[in-house]
Amino acid sequence: MNLNGLIGDLKRMSDGELRELAGQYGVMLTTSEIRKLRPLLDEVSVSFLWTGVPETLIRKVESVIGKERTRQILDEHW
């Protein structure tokens, strides 16, 4: 898997395409949430595979979609 390529692909998707993709994984996001989360793609690193997602990034996601939804997504997909 080429994580940098995947991130680039996600950045090029429209808000609607990202919303649809997230929905395919059971993650329901509004267009507003996607627009707020999109800049965080720049902070994603392949090192997360070994170190886990940093708490600072988790807190930023929580500020957009809430703590409960963030934890649910991490529990289901990480």
Residues of the chain with pLDDT under 50: none
42-76 core/surface letters (b: 16 or more CB in 10 A; e: else): eeeeeeeeeeeeeeeeeebbeebbeeebbeebeee
User: What does the domain layout of the chain look like in residue ranges?
Assistant: 3-77
pTM score, whole prediction: 0.88
Average pLDDT of the residues of the chain: 94
- Supply the pLDDT for residue 43: 95
